[in-house]
Amino acid sequence: MAEDSDKLRRLRIEAATLEQWVAVGWIAPEKPEYSDSDLARACLIRDLREAMGVNDEGVGVALGLLDQIHGLRRALRQVSAAMQGLPEPVRQEVLVILREMDEGPA
């Protein structure tokens, strides 16, 4: 945890503040130490609150939207990997269907 303390000091985040953010669910560390992504999220929260003046409710909304974006990106990577595993004629057929869906009724 001493390593975490040094990181937090460099990031200008108090340990008690980070614990509050964990308590409200803004950060959910999977290990006793904070991961780089936990600390990046903490920096984002700090910036939202301090630099941008976003209130707690707004921080929760912003984090929820970002989590949705990350989930969508993960799903798109999975779809892309699945598409790569398809035979070429099937892949082309799926692409035609997707284009037709995109062009849909005006």
* Tens-digit pLDDT string for the chain (106 aa): 556 778 888 889 999 999 999 999 999 998 888 899 999 999 999 999 999 999 999 999 999 999 999 999 999 999 999 999 999 999 999 999 999 998 877 5
- Asked if residue 42 lies in contact with residue 11, where contact means CB atoms within 8 angstroms, the answer is yes
Task: Note the pLDDT of residue 2.
Answer: 58
Residues ≥6 apart with Cβ < 8 Å to 36: none
Buried b (16+ CB within 10 A) or exposed e, 43-54: eebbebbeeeeb
For 104, list phi and psi in degrees, rounded to 5: 0, -175
